Structure 1
Amino acid sequence: MSKQRQEQNLPQSRDSGYTIIESLIAMIVVSVLMIAIAPVMAYSVATRVQARRMELATQAARAYIDALRTGAIKRNDPTNPGFPIQDMSAAPAFAPPPASTNPQNNLYCVNFDETAGCAGSKEFFVQGAWRNPANPTDPTQTGYELTVRVYRADGFTGGTMKTEQQSVANSALGDPKAPLVVMKTEIPASTVPGSYGSLCSRIRDPKTGQISTTACK
């Protein structure tokens, strides 16, 4: 009796489990779902990368503004380019930079990585423009309004750079020709005592302990 029962149960065990057709259908369904989800995931990652890039560009703009306020960037200094150009028109605020990265184009490089030069994805070119209704010969003596644009260094590969800031919400990885950040601020006159002048007047030589007369030069 036991042998007969085993022989009757044998065909049932052979028919159990998934068939090849069922497996193929399951693979097709999963593939369709992955194809539908993949663009959303890619866009989400691209948006996150662009948001991080804009965050670094904001830091670059602040570093540039601080350098102007402290006098680290000077006028007519070929060894340290980046002083803002004069804003001669109301709209657009000032012309976009050319595709070339010649230092005479008044572009200031901010490098966030360890590689030399200014051409990578974590390196930025900052363009500034000063505006003063009096149009002085030396704007540092009177103070001025400063407009700043921050561009990706890897966007200077030829062609015309743009002036309008891109949006992180609809740009995904963004347009390398458009500025990541555009901001305005005021740069005070270097001849008027302020927080920087106060700091300079209190800097002492670490060796002699005396007030340094060359700290602000």
Structure 2
Amino acid sequence: MKLQQLRKILTQSDESGFTIIESLVALLVAAILLASVSPVLVISTATRVQARRVELAAQAAKTFIDGVRTKTITEPTEALTALSVSTTRTVSSSTSDYLVSSAAVPTDTTKLYCFNKDGSIAAPGCTSNLFYIQAVKLQVSGSDPDKGQGYRLGIRIYRSDAQFGSLIKTSDSNGSVQTAFTGGVGNRRTPLLEMTTEITRGLPSYSALCDRLGGCK
């Protein structure tokens, strides 16, 4: 009786568990599943990183604007155009007078401000480890922003590894719009953020605003 029980146990032991072929098949199936899922995971992660990068760019733009308003940051010297008070303009006929998208893209970083990972902003001629800021202004000739004669400040935020020398505008003359989210990891040839805002110190001047807008009726 004991001999029969021993044979039964040995037989069960030989038949239990996975064979080498079964293990290899299981590994092959797992590899196929991972290969099909991994691209989705990579793109998803890259998109989240890019979204976070754009969020930080928005914070950098706000910090820069506040610094220009309070004069803790040197005002940009690059002007989109020097407007004449006597010139009659409209948005449709003189787009370049109103939109930062009309400004030329930078070919290098020599005239760009730096926004670093520690939150500091450095004057042009610096090296950034996070963002570069292109700032241009739309200002009537001879106006003084400290006397209520403000100007329109245009800002573009570029990542520190942007492809300077081959940058493109966010929109071209045909109306085609470029996205900063191309391919999940972002388009290094376009700005992360592009915006304009008003810079005025002291009591705002209605007449100065009319001069910049091409006249008020």
TM-score computed with the length of structure 2 as normaliser: 0.70
More moved, 87-96 vs 21-30: 87-96
> 1:157-204 deviations in whole A, cap 9, x for unaligned?
x42222216344x5411122210011121111x35379xxxxxxxxxx
Question: Which of 80, 83, 104 matches 1:86?
Answer: 80
Question: Which of 141, 160, 165 matches 1:159?
Answer: 165
Aligned to 2:61: 61
Determine which structure has greater relative contact order: mean sequence separation of CA pairs < 8 Å that are 6+ residues apart, divided by chain length: 2
Q: Distance in 1 between matches of 2:78 and 2:59?
A: 18
- The 5-angstrom pairing of residues 186-201 of structure 1 reads 186-188=198-200, 190-192=201-203
Structure 2 unaligned runs (5+)?
83-93, 171-177, 206-217
> 1:57-85 deviations in whole A, cap 9, x for unaligned?
1111111111121122345xxxxxx4442
Whether 1:175 aligns to 2:187 is yes
Q: CA deviation at 1:154?
A: 2.1
- The 5-angstrom pairing of residues 125-144 of structure 1 reads 125-132=132-139, 135-138=140-143, 140=145, 141=147, 142-144=149-151
Whether 1:110 aligns to 2:115 is yes
Whether 1:14 aligns to 2:14 is yes
2:161 aligned counterpart, secondary structure: helix
Matching residue's letter, 1:109 = C
Q: CA deviation at 1:51?
A: 1.1
Q: CA deviation at 1:28?
A: 0.5
Aligned to 2:30: 30
Matching residue's letter, 2:68 = L
Whether 1:124 aligns to 2:124 is no
Q: Distance in 2 between matches of 1:17 and 1:68?
A: 72
Identity across aligned pairs (percent)?
A: 38
The structure-2 alpha-carbon separation of the partners of 1:55 and 1:43, relative to structure 1 and needing over 3 Å to count, comes to same
More moved, 87-96 vs 49-58: 87-96
Q: Distance in 2 between matches of 1:114 and 1:93?
A: 29
Q: How many residues align?
A: 177
1:154 aligned counterpart, secondary structure: coil
The structure-2 alpha-carbon separation of the partners of 1:187 and 1:6, relative to structure 1 and needing over 3 Å to count, comes to same
Runs of at least 4 residues of structure 1 off by over 6 A? Answer: none
CA RMSD of superposed structures (Å): 2.8
Question: Which of 181, 184, 195 matches 2:196?
Answer: 184
Question: Which of 88, 95, 106 matches 1:97?
Answer: 106
Question: Which of 152, 176, 189 matches 1:145?
Answer: 152
The structure-2 alpha-carbon separation of the partners of 1:155 and 1:171, relative to structure 1 and needing over 3 Å to count, comes to same
Aligned to 1:215: none
Structure 1 unaligned runs (5+)?
76-81, 195-217
Aligned to 1:70: 70
Q: Distance in 2 between matches of 1:7 and 1:171?
A: 63
- 2:79–2:138 contact (8 Å) kept in structure 1: no
Q: Distance in 2 between matches of 1:191 and 1:12?
A: 92
